[in-house]
Structure 1
Amino acid sequence: MKIIVICLVMVLLGLLAAGASFGAEATRAKADVIWVYQPGLFLPPTCVYPSTAASPLGLTAAGALLVLQLIILINTGCLGCKRRSPTQPNSNSNPNPNITARLCSGIASLTFAIALVMLLTGVALNDGKKNCYVVKPGVFAGAGVLCLATAALGIVSFITLESEKKGATPLTQGGIIEVGQPQFPPANGVKPSSLPA
């Protein structure tokens, strides 16, 4: 049940971030609606930007993306290196860590960083008061696609680590396989000393 709830939260945050990003793309300030006027002969031009919903939507997307990344890092550890539980021994519990989980977690961190920079840059340029810059088409939409990629990769990393943990054998958990005579005789009446070696 815990896995389903965490995955559902990741999906919802990813969809919220992507939806807000696509909404910001649709409502961003465009160059043809910005008013430029020259207040004086030696003064730089001043731009008047229309009020749009792009900045609040971009900030909402950035906030949802940040919470999503925190949930991914808490549940998968840094780059898929999940923290050791208190019941595991101090030795390295898995000498061959799952490369899929690490790779997905690393790429999710990269897509998170790029999407966050795109969103915050888009918000800053959308409300810019100097130099009359506007957000290029596709900045918020690209960030939205990266938000979806971050969520998907985080979910794959989390599920991979959880399935590895659930399907682990005693040998992969650092346990010891004991060899020797059985403590109780077999149910079919065969004596342990007559078993083939």
Structure 2
Amino acid sequence: MEIKTVLVSLVLAALGIAVALAGFAAEALKPKKSQLKVVYHGLDHECDYPSSPVMRIAIAAVVALVIARTIITATTGGCCSCCRPIPSASKFARLCIRISWFMSIVAVILFIVGAILSGEKGVEIDVNDVFYCYTLRPGVFGAAGIIGLVSVLLGLVYYFVYLLARSRAAEKSGVDLELEKPHVTDVKKPTKL
């Protein structure tokens, strides 16, 4: 394997793991119901939320996912690589890159929506007219992290298939060129009389 291939693979794997870890970290650090308090100011009610790094973690995960997606796109022939024909590429490879794109978009949306909703400071009223503070449902950031990791791994599978198809095409064209090469003979140049 070339050094570039190893380097790209390691960077993509590190970014995928970083996305997953960020998802689990955000899930663990988001405000819990037990940490939230409803503060009464006469007739007004508001929630007292503890400070949380969830927004920064979610943004970092989105940036890591976008960088991974950019690397995959740049190393596999541009943004339309899933639609352009690649010599000897399988339908499996095309399916991998399309699912990878879809999963990346879903993970980014989950991270962004989760970050926005975890900072929601609204007071809700339940059925019994009891005030409570809004909290994000469990599993949103964890799911975003897992989906992001899987999308990067599918992109990495596509990257390897793309490199294999490209090397096979280069080998095939090299063989064809050797077969079509004209036979060179020693021919004496005619002498002038």
TM-score if structure 1 supplies the norm length?
Answer: 0.75
Give the 5 Å matches for 1:30-179. Answer: 30-41=32-43, 43=44, 45-76=45-76, 77-78=78-79, 80-81=81-82, 94=87, 97-131=89-123, 132-168=133-169
- Greater helix proportion: 2
- Greater strand proportion: 2
- 8 Å CA contact 2:89, 2:161 repeated in 1: no
User: Deviation per CA, 1:61-92, whole angstroms, max 9, x where unpaired?
Assistant: 11111111111122223353488xxxxxxxx7
- The one-letter code sitting in structure 2 at the alignment partner of 1:157 is Y
User: Deviation per CA, 1:152-189, whole angstroms, max 9, x where unpaired?
Assistant: 1010001100110011267679x789779x7379xxxx
User: Deviation per CA, 1:43-62, whole angstroms, max 9, x where unpaired?
Assistant: 4x211211123222222111
Distance 1:54 1:61 in 2: 10
Aligned residue pairs: how many? Answer: 172
Shift of 1:32: 2.0
- Structure 2 SS opposite 1:64: helix
Distance 1:101 1:130 in 2: 45
- The one-letter code sitting in structure 1 at the alignment partner of 2:42 is G
- Structure 1 SS opposite 2:38: strand
- 8 Å CA contact 1:171, 1:177 repeated in 2: no
- 8 Å CA contact 2:86, 2:165 repeated in 1: no
- Structure 1 residues 48, 172: closer, same or farther in 2, change over 3 A? farther
Shift of 1:40: 3.1
Structure 2, unpaired ranges of 5+: 124-132, 186-193
- Structure 1 residues 114, 130: closer, same or farther in 2, change over 3 A? same
- The one-letter code sitting in structure 2 at the alignment partner of 1:18 is A
Structural RMSD (CA): 2.8
User: Deviation per CA, 1:120-153, whole angstroms, max 9, x where unpaired?
Assistant: 1111111112344211111111011111101110
Percent of residue pairs identical: 30
Structure 1, unpaired ranges of 5+: 84-91, 186-197
- The one-letter code sitting in structure 1 at the alignment partner of 2:48 is V
